[in-house]
Structure 1
Amino acid sequence: MIKEKLNNTADLSIRPLQIGGAQKYEGVLLYIENLVDSQVIRDNIISPLLRIRNSSELDHQNLMNSLAYHHIQSPSVEISQSIEMAVNGIVRGKTLVMVGGFDRIVIAETTQWQQRSVEQSSRQRSPGGPMIGLSEQLKVNLNLIRSFIQSPNLVVESKQIGRFSKTDLSIVYLKHKVDQKALEEVRTRLDTLDVEYVLESRVVEDALEGRKKTIFPLVFLTEMPDVVAAALYEGRIAVLVNGTPMASIVPSLFVQYMAQPNEYYTKSGKLTNRFILFFCYFISVLLPGIYVAVAYFHENWFPAKFAKKYFTHSDTILSFFFEMCILLLILYLLILVSFRIQTDMIIVASLVGTMVVSTTAVDAKLIHPLSLIIVGIAFLTNLLFVTGGMANAAFTLRFFFLILGSFFGLTAMGIGFILLIIYMSRLRSVGVPYLAPIIPFRPQEFKDVFYRGDLKKLINSPHKYPHDDKE
């Protein structure tokens, strides 16, 4: 029956053996050879069972219990009568011990997954903090988090997602600090997730974000275990999926993307970094639209000589609006290319990109030099928010405000900005307002919003998140 459930796969190993002395029992081990540690099977299962020479060592009434709890030396064993449970165990690298004449099976832990060692994070770095990043193995990631939070209050809830192939998932939080309403919302959304399989955490992130889709990330992503630990201390919840070297943290707030990990490891910048990041985000979103709006509607704000040279008498082929659109699309294309091509081809892609977006295009009268500078500033400031996923929202908003500025001017951009704030204030991350603690206004939480407050006060002060019934 088990062979049929596994579709007679070629890597299923069946190892017969005899157990006992004068009264021998015919037994068999089943495992998938590519998933198990053969040394563990020999030392912890085969050798102890073959050493049984005297039948008095066995409890014949409860033979499977006797084998599981007195002889098999695997760190984790369980006894089951379910074929489904046996098949689920064997595909996870466990070994089945079966004995003729008994209707129960011993499932012993013998898994050996192939995995990379813990390495330095390549996508997120902190000059003054830890350099290690999460890996693809869930057990390794939980080990890293526990190394930062050595407390009995650290709770790990395990789930399995997928009908066709089950994937392990863990919900991690601190019992005495977690926001209980957010935790219940996370449990509810994950329990209602019904998919055939999970290859990466994106489907889990969609479930955590809820039915209301938005361009803003409602789940904060990180591969730094110290960032996960800090979020847990603040009452947030981390969701880790086996096979994904990222942790999904909720609730996710807009102000969270303005706080960089290195702020908490260095003394400098605690009063200026946040303001600079807020300013850079608005520059990244609004600057192209402001530039085109000034060129089309407000060139009289500048001296006539300057306005004539840069706005009214531009001798480029394309209009300012199309220049900005093409430049933004080319830079976005370069980002996509850098992730999709071979690493040894990145130099070639960079060379071609430099030829397309450079002074060559300016000399050919294709692009205005000021347009190139504006797009370059917007692009560089956008790179500050790649961590966590906020950069994608900025890319969409940049085109939205570019269209408003091109056709309706700065007044329309101002109205659009107000509508954007109203829209963001209505977003919720597992029930918590996205703009909290700014909207709703909670001044007691401002000690870590626009500036990094005293670390001792931050550590000792509790974090509370507002909730309402809107979702």
Structure 2
Amino acid sequence: MNDHDPANFTISLHKNIETIKEQLHHTAELVVRTIRIGESKYNVALIYLDELVNADVIRDFIITPLFLFKGMKKSDTGPFIDHLASEHIRASSVEMVSSFEDALNGIVRGRTLILVEGYDGGIIAETTQWQQRSVEQSSRQRSPGGPMIGLSEQLKVNLNLIRSFIKSPDLVVEMKQIGRFAKTDLSIVYLNHKVDKQALEKVRTRIETLDVEYVLESRVVEDALEGRKKTIFPLIFNSEMPDIVAAALYEGRIAILVDGTPQASIVPALFVQFMAQPIEYYSKTGKLSNRLILFFSYFISVFIPGIYVAFANFHKDWIPAKYAKKFFKESETLLPLFLEVFLLLLILYILGLASFRIQTDLIVLASLVGTMVISTTLVDAKLVHPFSMIIVGISFLTNFLFLTGGMASAALTLRILFLIIGSFFGLTAMGIGLILLIFYMALLRSVGVPYLAPIIPFRPQEFKDVFYRGDTKKLINSEHNYPHDDKE
């Protein structure tokens, strides 16, 4: 808002209209409809942005009632504009405003401003009609035995989906707006009698202190929620499945939804929760094996390239002689083993980036070219050993299990780190590195909750859903308590 512009409406309808036009920079979408009502006693202006409103709502619930208005009765009390808002405007939501800032904030959200000559206030009526896609099946997260639908880009749609899973008056939605230049709607969602109060206060504080010009997606909010200490590990769990969000709320966690982002950010996020998969709660089988396989797969994804190179460089005598001779001693590849593995990891990473950056109709072609380059050219040119390709392939495939939630990015960094350690210092150094990594993870906090809980600090009563999926009835009826400390 310009400094020379008045902050509040005046009683002049013409001046108010001109001020709004100036502050919206005379955009072509702005519509100003003036009418006379009450046997020509009152001049009224309807102001809205044409592409954002539902014309039928304006016609049926605002214009038609105004034309039917004949005037105030002797029994009517109070200002005419208040009477108009309470008795005649039939929109689903009506709000009185007195400042240009509030009026403009409503107009850019698809609402209609109603001004009356002689009154220094206005009426904001709900007439929004955003363009949106229908609720569809989630493409990034799937659960063969559970619901298929995923969240969309519309905040109201997402809140509706969550309420369809949690039909309880204890479900609380706090609405906030962030951004100085352009305001974006944000919702903090939790269950009042189950939420972790300390975590909720930290979420509120960090969002309220977030000072940015605009927000296009939730990453900016997630950075604020993670706190000042940055880490490669995700301290926020992202999900686009409303049933996963609902389950997290039942466990006392908090979901943050940002308008325009088709996923929810869930806190507190613990390391063990990234090892759980939705299918475990919809299927009878895999209560123990699925969780253990995921823990083992994450270990394989991070450590197997480093272990492979460490064996080749420092521990050949630990391997039967015929295998050591075949895989390490008589290798005819041109590159050192460390560079072989690093080159393969780099190529696979580039292929992963390409799959998201190129057109969908070129993905098959890119896959064919990538397959020829990796499987045929590198081996025939003796740049890499076939066994190196198997090791890196296993590491890369197991990493796919952790794309949901964001844990895969941490695995990539750790994989390279332990590859370097194993290549230059051997298995002993990798073991020391693993111990230091556990200490580091134990120091991490997700909105005040220790990242490795309930393992560190040790809370055996919470182990019913850590290394195995316990009985569903016990899981549903048990209380989830999160430890807190002041180390953040």
TM range (shorter): over 0.9
**Structure 2 SS opposite 1:198:** coil
- Cα distance in 2 for partners of 1:410, 1:81 equals 70
**Structure 1 SS opposite 2:266:** strand
User: In structure 1, what is the equivalent of residue 132 of structure 2?
Assistant: 115
User: In structure 1, what is the equivalent of residue 20 of structure 2?
Assistant: 2
CA contact (8 A) 2:298 2:398 kept: yes
Instruction: In structure 2, give the amino acid aligned to 1:126.
Output: S
- Cα distance in 1 for partners of 2:111, 2:186 equals 18
1:379 equivalent in alignment to 2:417: no
Which segments of structure 1 move beyond 2 Å, counting only runs of 4 or more? 53-61
**The one of 188, 195, 205 aligned to 2:205:** 188
- Cα distance in 1 for partners of 2:402, 2:159 equals 26
User: In structure 1, what is the equivalent of residue 196 of structure 2?
Assistant: 179
User: In structure 1, what is the equivalent of residue 225 of structure 2?
Assistant: 208
- Cα distance in 2 for partners of 1:427, 1:58 equals 66
Q: What's the offset of the Cα at 1:55?
A: 4.3
- TM-score, normalization by structure 2: 0.95
- Cα distance in 2 for partners of 1:312, 1:467 equals 53
1:273 equivalent in alignment to 2:285: no
Pick which of 393-402 and 353-362 moved more. 353-362
User: In structure 2, what is the equivalent of residue 400 of structure 1?
Assistant: 417
User: In structure 1, what is the equivalent of residue 184 of structure 2?
Assistant: 167
CA contact (8 A) 2:171 2:189 kept: yes
CA contact (8 A) 1:36 1:93 kept: yes
Q: What's the offset of the Cα at 1:438?
A: 0.2
- List per-residue Cα deviations over 1:173-199 (Å, max 9, x = no partner): 000000000000000100110000000
- Cα distance in 2 for partners of 1:201, 1:294 equals 43
User: In structure 2, what is the equivalent of residue 146 of structure 1?
Assistant: 163
* Structure 1 portions without partners, runs of 5+: none
- List per-residue Cα deviations over 1:68-95 (Å, max 9, x = no partner): 1100000000111111100111011000
Q: What's the offset of the Cα at 1:364?
A: 2.0
**Structure 1 SS opposite 2:52:** coil
1:317 equivalent in alignment to 2:337: no
Pick which of 312-321 and 450-459 moved more. 312-321
Instruction: In structure 2, give the amino acid aligned to 1:47.
Output: T
1:337 equivalent in alignment to 2:371: no
Instruction: In structure 2, give the amino acid aligned to 1:115.
Output: Q
Q: What's the offset of the Cα at 1:54?
A: 4.5
**The one of 364, 371, 374 aligned to 2:381:** 364
Q: What's the offset of the Cα at 1:24?
A: 1.5
Q: What's the offset of the Cα at 1:53?
A: 2.7
User: In structure 1, what is the equivalent of residue 323 of structure 2?
Assistant: 306
**Structure 2 SS opposite 1:17:** strand
- Cα distance in 1 for partners of 2:115, 2:384 equals 75
- Cα distance in 2 for partners of 1:57, 1:326 equals 86
Q: What's the offset of the Cα at 1:61?
A: 4.4
User: In structure 1, what is the equivalent of residue 30 of structure 2?
Assistant: 12
CA contact (8 A) 2:72 2:80 kept: no
- List per-residue Cα deviations over 1:98-127 (Å, max 9, x = no partner): 111111101100000000000000000000
1:44 equivalent in alignment to 2:44: no
What is the number of equivalent residue pairs in this alignment?
A: 470
- Cα distance in 2 for partners of 1:328, 1:468 equals 39
- Cα distance in 1 for partners of 2:66, 2:300 equals 70
- List per-residue Cα deviations over 1:36-79 (Å, max 9, x = no partner): 00000000000000011344389474111111110000000011
**The one of 423, 427, 440 aligned to 1:410:** 427
Q: What's the offset of the Cα at 1:312?
A: 1.3
Q: 1:55 to 1:183 in 2, by over 3 A?
A: closer
The aligned runs of 1:11-30 (5 Å cut-off) are 11-21=29-39, 24-30=41-47
1:467 equivalent in alignment to 2:487: no
**The one of 54, 70, 74 aligned to 1:53:** 70
CA contact (8 A) 1:15 1:30 kept: yes
Instruction: In structure 1, give the amino acid aligned to 2:227.
Output: G
User: In structure 2, what is the equivalent of residue 391 of structure 1?
Assistant: 408
Q: CA RMSD in A?
A: 1.0
Q: What's the offset of the Cα at 1:413?
A: 0.2
User: In structure 2, what is the equivalent of residue 235 of structure 1?
Assistant: 252
